[in-house]
Structure 1
Amino acid sequence: MAAAREEGSVKIAFIGLGIMGMPMAKHLVAAGHTVSGYNRSRAKVDEFAADGGTAAASVTDAVQGADVVITMLPNHPEVEEVVLGQGGVLESAEPGALLIDMSTIRPETSIAIAEAARDKNVRVLDAPVSGGEAGAKQAALSIMVGGEEADFAAARPVFEALGKTVVHVGPHGAGQVVKAANQLVVGGIYGLVSEAIVLMEASGVDAKTGLDVLAGGLAANRILDLKRESMVARQFQPGFRIDLHHKDMGIATDAARQADVALPMTGLVAQLLAAARAMGHGSLDHSALLKVVEQLSGRA
């Protein structure tokens, strides 16, 4: 990593100031880094600049002179365009710069980007995150990182401004595989919590009280901790949208095919999320899987 402008500080380009990216970029500014932010929506760039960041007019503008480039984008086509396209990261980055893609995309795309970057003398890490909007706002994300050990060590100060669990999980693409595993587990738990709510309510049991008990026993999990009250109240303001989780389950099922393994429960959860989108719930929080389970039981 290039020499810091101030001790402990690096120049960072942050591309993708969305629900997750905006608070992450702001945490990096608060940590003392010089952060240039770019987003297709100019309003997002202006908001970031108002909170101490530097506004960039384009990907090229953001990336030039940066020690670290972070991308936080919705899916692999956007990452490919921003990184590999004309005026993109690999055309604009300084030799020796470190590209950290924190998007959730296909493992094979992460590997392909790392291979393309090698020819440009740009180092790459794939570092998807878990924790949703709340984790991003609280700088409490779980970050799973694929790539070279030395690059991970160099990036650790950046990661520590964004998350509480930061782990190097293997070579290029490994971060995306672990994120796929994370998403299949999260989706499965949402489905089971939804079924528990429907069962209790249909049986005349107060679901809130029942979930309080479950949260104190072997069934305890972070989803019960964070979402049981909002699910019982049918409050589905998006922290992580059904649309995005549906995309992630496609990554998980594709990864299973690549690895030649059978993941039957993952397939079922993927279909439930597809049903949620088909019902028009794609913009709701992924806890809205409850609406699908209710529909299946005739209790919508």
Structure 2
Amino acid sequence: MNKAIAFIGLGQMGGNMAARLVEFGFTVSGYDLNPAARQNLVDAGGQAVGSIEQAVAGHDIVMTSLPDPSAVLATYLGKEGIVELATPGCLLIDLSTIDPDTMRHVGTKAKELKLRVVDCPVSGSPKDSRAGTLTIMMGGDEEDVRLAEPYLEALSTTRLFTGDVGSAKVVKIVNNMMAMGNVLIASEAFALGVKAGVAPQLLYDVLSVSGGRSHHFVNRFKNALQGNFDPGFKIELGEKDLALGIGLGEMLNQPTPAASIVRQLFSQALGEGLRGRDIVALLQMYQNWSSDTPNSIGETRQ
């Protein structure tokens, strides 16, 4: 197995995944527009370079973790992008959360130049990405997925094959639609319980072992009780993923009215100054709407 990896996109998730790969014994050459992100990789034992071209040069494995469809298109298909620079036979593993059509378009262009493409969005927190405990959805030709698995194994405890390139993006979008709706309803319900006079900690203790609980409720709301809204998954990323889901529904003529309402409330949270905070800060939005709430849920840390 080739132990040398080019990794492009060293943000909160990508940077942690790159550091995990270094820890797992891979040689990682990474690039990000942000100099601080590149320095974080150096601090973790990787090598930072100054361009996509320098990252891709000499590598047969390229992994990407990018914020949105436009970044994926520019990175893969732009002038001096990955598809133009990579040598035939190179394995391209995209870990981003984007729409399936963009992923399929990238895959088609890459295959025309004899490149291998695997569609691999991830589910989990930044902590999971650093610990190698992510869930990874894998779409692509079965042979290409098999070649990618040894690299993905370092990042995950669960890997699930979903079908052709683009299928994994569909599954990830659906997952995030469910998760964002869950956090919003949990925030609304929790604020109601506190408004009715139940102490926040007591309410959490009961709900975290009751039927309404979820992964996000149990893991995120305990931070909110301490006034900790540091981003594990930012509200603006949740709004972006909801937009992807709604867009997919429009393309398929499949109505998504509930997701549309959830997105509106995520957008409202951004308008109320919660950009850059974790999605559990939706709870604070509800609390702000009720200034006479009898039990404080916690003040936002600056």
Query: TM tier, shorter chain?
Result: over 0.9
What is residue 122 of structure 1 aligned with on the other side?
Answer: 115
1:154-191 deviations in Å (ceiling 9; x for gaps): 11111111111211112111111111111111111111
1:47-93 deviations in Å (ceiling 9; x for gaps): 31232212222101111121211111111111111111111101111
Is residue 196 of structure 1 aligned with residue 189 of structure 2? yes
What is residue 71 of structure 1 aligned with on the other side?
Answer: 64
Given that 1:272 and 1:292 are in contact with CA atoms closer than 8 Å, whether structure 2 keeps it comes out as: no
Letter in 2 for 1:187: M
What is residue 165 of structure 1 aligned with on the other side?
Answer: 158
Query: How far 1:299 moved relative to its partner?
Result: 5.6
Letter in 1 for 2:72: V
What is residue 152 of structure 1 aligned with on the other side?
Answer: 145
Given that 1:145 and 1:167 are in contact with CA atoms closer than 8 Å, whether structure 2 keeps it comes out as: yes
Q: Partner of 1:280: helix, strand, or coil?
A: helix
Is residue 33 of structure 1 aligned with residue 26 of structure 2? yes
Given that 2:19 and 2:130 are in contact with CA atoms closer than 8 Å, whether structure 1 keeps it comes out as: no
Tell me which of 74, 89, 101 is aligned to 1:81: 74
Query: How far 1:295 moved relative to its partner?
Result: 4.4
User: For structure 2, which runs of at least 5 residues remain unmatched after alignment?
Assistant: 294-302
What is residue 268 of structure 2 aligned with on the other side?
Answer: 275
1:83-116 deviations in Å (ceiling 9; x for gaps): 1111110111121011111111111100000010
Letter in 1 for 2:111: R
What is residue 177 of structure 1 aligned with on the other side?
Answer: 170
Given that 1:45 and 1:55 are in contact with CA atoms closer than 8 Å, whether structure 2 keeps it comes out as: yes
What is residue 98 of structure 2 aligned with on the other side?
Answer: 105
Tell me which of 223, 227, 249 is aligned to 2:220: 227
Letter in 1 for 2:211: L
Q: Partner of 1:200: helix, strand, or coil?
A: helix
Letter in 1 for 2:73: E
Given that 2:221 and 2:280 are in contact with CA atoms closer than 8 Å, whether structure 1 keeps it comes out as: no
Measured in 1, the distance between the counterparts of 2:211 and 2:37 equals 42
Measured in 2, the distance between the counterparts of 1:231 and 1:186 equals 17
1:126-177 deviations in Å (ceiling 9; x for gaps): 1111112122122111111221111111111111111112111121111111
Q: Partner of 1:14: helix, strand, or coil?
A: strand
Measured in 2, the distance between the counterparts of 1:299 and 1:114 equals 54
Measured in 2, the distance between the counterparts of 1:81 and 1:178 equals 23
Given that 1:242 and 1:277 are in contact with CA atoms closer than 8 Å, whether structure 2 keeps it comes out as: yes
| Deviation >4 Å, runs of 4+ | 295-300
Query: How far 1:264 moved relative to its partner?
Result: 2.2
Tell me which of 89, 94, 106 is aligned to 2:87: 94
Measured in 2, the distance between the counterparts of 1:294 and 1:72 equals 34
Measured in 2, the distance between the counterparts of 1:215 and 1:28 equals 34
Measured in 2, the distance between the counterparts of 1:111 and 1:186 equals 24
Alignment root-mean-square deviation, CA: 1.6
Tell me which of 124, 128, 138 is aligned to 2:131: 138
Q: Percent sequence identity over matched residues?
A: 36
Measured in 2, the distance between the counterparts of 1:52 and 1:203 equals 52
Letter in 2 for 1:60: E
Measured in 2, the distance between the counterparts of 1:73 and 1:51 equals 20
Q: TM-score, normalised by structure 2?
A: 0.92
Query: How far 1:296 moved relative to its partner?
Result: 4.8
What is residue 257 of structure 1 aligned with on the other side?
Answer: 250
Measured in 2, the distance between the counterparts of 1:51 and 1:291 equals 35
Q: Partner of 2:135: helix, strand, or coil?
A: strand
Measured in 2, the distance between the counterparts of 1:220 and 1:200 equals 14
What is residue 61 of structure 1 aligned with on the other side?
Answer: 54
What is residue 217 of structure 1 aligned with on the other side?
Answer: 210
Q: TM-score, normalised by structure 1?
A: 0.93
Residues 1-16 of structure 1: matches in 2 within 5 Å?
Answer: 4=1, 9-16=2-9
Measured in 2, the distance between the counterparts of 1:238 and 1:47 equals 18
Query: How far 1:297 moved relative to its partner?
Result: 4.9
Given that 1:230 and 1:236 are in contact with CA atoms closer than 8 Å, whether structure 2 keeps it comes out as: yes
Q: Partner of 1:188: helix, strand, or coil?
A: helix
1:225-268 deviations in Å (ceiling 9; x for gaps): 21121223332111111111111111010011122212222111
